[in-house]
Structure 1
Amino acid sequence: MADPNPTGIDAYKPSEIYALVDQAGAQKARIRMPQLLALSLLAGVFIALGAAAYTMVMTGTDMSFGPARFLGGIVFSLGLILVIVAGAELFTGNALLVIAVVEKLVSPGQLLRNWSIVYIGNFAGAILIAGLVWASGLLNAGLGETAIGIAESKAALGMTEAFARAILCNILVCLAVWLSLAARSAAGKILTIVWPIASFVLLGLEHSIANMYFFPQAMLAGAAVDWTDFGQNLFIVTLGNVAGGAGGVAFAYRLAYGNSESHLDIVNDQKII
């Protein structure tokens, strides 16, 4: 019997990943409302847990110091690892659903339904964890000052800066999702997720769902930021995340593999998060 992996690399090829993303978009469009809300809430919880762990790692360190930020990024990767391996619906990763729309497997209305429900669920999950961290007393144990510093630095960004950082951020997040689909094992998925996510944190980029946790956490800790600051940041960062994921990664791979032979017959058991 011929070796299915003659190169020794046990991973799907890029064109096969494209087919996985394509099929997964159709699957996501059919998710029932209760299930979609539950998975969206979980994703918000998972990203917030990664953000809370990041905040603790950065406590007592120089937040502008590269090695410390890279370590924080590795810890923050917990969020997307949980989303991908445990299973959840994350708004920023779902920017890749645009591929299924272009391939006419999903309608624009179905795309907007998914994005809106997932966004709301992610927000609820992030707020829930922010409230639990505050109730736990962790914000009074050194974590609060770090939380304040993180949010105030984000609020100080100009619109152009925040938008550009959000584009770059979701390019890396969607590439992490894309790479995770190449892996056939949980360990492989984890290894492919860590490096893009750690890199976006190291670079100080902007992730809308993470900010749904960072700003409420800081406000509960007594930061000089308010809901207006939060709303302005979230609006521009969300637009940038969509541009980076849908207009960047999804569009680029549509140009590269959109006309290639489909591989759906070998990937029917796969899902994208």
Structure 2
Amino acid sequence: MTDFSSKIVIPTPAAMAQATEDGMLAKATKPWFEMFLLSLTGGAYIALGFLFFVTSQQGLGAPFPVGPAKVLGGVVFSVGLMLVVISGSDLFTGTTMTVMPLLSKRLGVGRFLGHWGVAIVGNFIGSVLVALLVLWAGTPSSNKSAWGLVVLNTTLAKVSLTWGHAFFLAVLANFAVCLAVWMANSGRSTADKILAIVGPIALFVASGFEHSVANMFMLPMGWLIKNFAPDTFWAGEAITKAGKTAADFDAITPGAIFFDNLIPVILGNIVGGAVFVGIYFWACYIRPAQRAKALEAAGAHAAR
């Protein structure tokens, strides 16, 4: 006979808010070296997701519909966040929600900022290591250089954004990413968490929003291809058919990568995650619960 007493119960939104705050506090108070190691894989796993995205976009020009191509890219990219969430890795865009325990005065400012710094550095190193492995594996030359051409075109488009566009696209990206993490926290199985992640991530990627950690892979990958791809890459059919040469991608420079994209995107991601999700849900659920508890304690004290 089925035992319905063991039925899984999805937590209420208020309980999820508290669970998210507790989870963010646990991440921010890990030993520094452990935090760094988990940040390395956070960057590496998002890089793998973007690698999958690039692979899915090869040759998807006319007459293939643009919308379905973008949605396909978003769905396959979501594998990156699935790996991050299930493995417990540390992703800077998600760590923006550590503002919740900060507001509850459970986390000091120094530890709060230190966690963000470690996450950014670790994510960047992990992302670039994957980019180097991809370059050394010769993947950019695959499918007659079509793979590398997708990276170059995407990188060029990203470094060509204005600061305003990059910032607001980043706000929207991390709004979606943190909502994906939030919903994944309600999952009670691996399948639940995966299903919760796919929709918001496909939404942000298909819409062309900007994610700082994803760009920590894509932009260095584009720069590496531009500067270190062999002559056989530039002689590939996809490159020659498109009429492209290395000179067409001269705008892809370290300065453009950092100052024209990563800085405004990191700032936008902070607003999208910390303000639109972390502070918002803290104000909706955590703060009222704290006030109610304080009032109850005051009433109990007065009754003595």
Per the TM superposition, whether the score is higher than 0.5 is yes
Work out the CA distance in 1 between the residues paired with 2:289 and 2:23.
Answer: 17
3-state SS of paired residue (1:104): coil
Work out the CA distance in 1 between the residues paired with 2:215 and 2:154.
Answer: 10
Work out the CA distance in 2 between the residues paired with 1:87 and 1:252.
Answer: 24
CA deviation vs aligned residue, 1:74-118 (integer Å, no higher than 9, x gap): 110011000001220000001111001001111111110100001
Deviates more, 1:119-128 or 1:133-142: 133-142
Q: CA deviation at 1:2?
A: 7.9
Work out the CA distance in 1 between the residues paired with 2:105 and 2:4.
Answer: 36
Answer yes or no: is 1:188 the counterpart of 2:195.
no
Q: CA deviation at 1:10?
A: 3.8
Work out the CA distance in 1 between the residues paired with 2:287 and 2:165.
Answer: 35
Structure 2 equivalent of residue 11 of structure 1 = 10
CA deviation vs aligned residue, 1:153-189 (integer Å, no higher than 9, x gap): 1111111111000000000000000000011111100
Q: 1:248 aligns with which of 270, 273, 276?
A: 276
Structure 2 equivalent of residue 179 of structure 1 = 183
Structure 2 equivalent of residue 269 of structure 1 = none
Answer yes or no: is 1:121 the counterpart of 2:122.
yes
3-state SS of paired residue (2:179): helix
Q: CA deviation at 1:72?
A: 0.6
Work out the CA distance in 1 between the residues paired with 2:222 and 2:287.
Answer: 47
Q: CA deviation at 1:4?
A: 7.0
Structure 2 equivalent of residue 160 of structure 1 = 164
Work out the CA distance in 2 between the residues paired with 1:214 and 1:132.
Answer: 13
| TM-score normalized by the length of structure 2 | 0.82
Work out the CA distance in 2 between the residues paired with 1:28 and 1:56.
Answer: 32
Amino acid at match of 2:262: L
Structure 1 equivalent of residue 136 of structure 2 = 135
Amino acid at match of 1:127: V
**1:73 and 1:198 in contact (8 A); partners too:** yes
Work out the CA distance in 1 between the residues paired with 2:276 and 2:186.
Answer: 19
Structure 1 equivalent of residue 151 of structure 2 = 147
Considering only CA atoms, is the larger Rg found in Structure 1 or Structure 2? Answer: 2
Larger fraction in helix: 2
Structure 1 equivalent of residue 59 of structure 2 = 60
Structure 1 equivalent of residue 42 of structure 2 = 43
Greater relative contact order (Cα < 8 A, sep 6+): 1
Structure 2 equivalent of residue 213 of structure 1 = 217
Query: How many residues end up aligned between the 2 structures?
Result: 259
Work out the CA distance in 2 between the residues paired with 1:31 and 1:190.
Answer: 25
CA deviation vs aligned residue, 1:129-158 (integer Å, no higher than 9, x gap): 000000011111221100001101111111
Structure 1 equivalent of residue 258 of structure 2 = 231
Structure 2 equivalent of residue 266 of structure 1 = none
Structure 1 equivalent of residue 71 of structure 2 = 70
Q: Give unmatched runs, 5+ long, in structure 1.
A: 263-273
Work out the CA distance in 1 between the residues paired with 2:133 and 2:25.
Answer: 35
3-state SS of paired residue (2:215): helix
Q: CA deviation at 1:23?
A: 1.1
Q: Give unmatched runs, 5+ long, in structure 2.
A: 227-248, 291-304
Work out the CA distance in 1 between the residues paired with 2:42 and 2:24.
Answer: 17
Work out the CA distance in 1 between the residues paired with 2:214 and 2:105.
Answer: 31
